[in-house]
Amino acid sequence: MEIINVVAILTSSLSFLVYGGMLLKSESMQLEFKRFKLEKLMILTGILELLGGAGLLVGFYIDIILLISSGGLGLLMFFAFLVRLKMRDTLLVSLPSFFFMVLNFYIFYSNFHKVKDLSF
């Protein structure tokens, strides 16, 4: 595996493990979900972030888990970026969701060739 791919996976994984945990514990992050009027999705989002972050690490050994995790986190961040745009947040505030969307879609794209048979 290329070093850039390893760094991308570790960066994303550790970030989502931290952010997912913070979302479930941090009052300031929970207030953001209330501001977005998405408080019903807060726990689900935190759990998906934790699972995605852990899945990226498992993905070092199981390629399909890497694809599912990176694709799922990429989609999650795509919707997070759309919410930020809808709320008219500044570019600086919106940049992390855009960055992690691009990073996870890069991980997905750069590892897609490893999975020979996508049928289940």
32-57: per-residue pLDDT in tens? 999 999 999 999 999 999 999 999 99
**Assigned token pair, 66:** 């890497």
Residue 21 domain-assigned (yes or no): yes
**What pLDDT sits at residue 117?**
62
Residue 119 domain-assigned (yes or no): no
Residue 115 domain-assigned (yes or no): no
Residue 57 domain-assigned (yes or no): yes
- Considering the entire predicted model, what is its pTM? 0.92
Total of domains in the chain: 1
Residue 116 domain-assigned (yes or no): no
**Is 53 in contact with 12 (CB distance < 8 Å)?**
yes
Domain around 10: 3-110
- Whole-number percent of the chain with pLDDT over 90: 90
Residue 120 domain-assigned (yes or no): no
Integer Cα distance of 49 and 70 in angstroms = 11
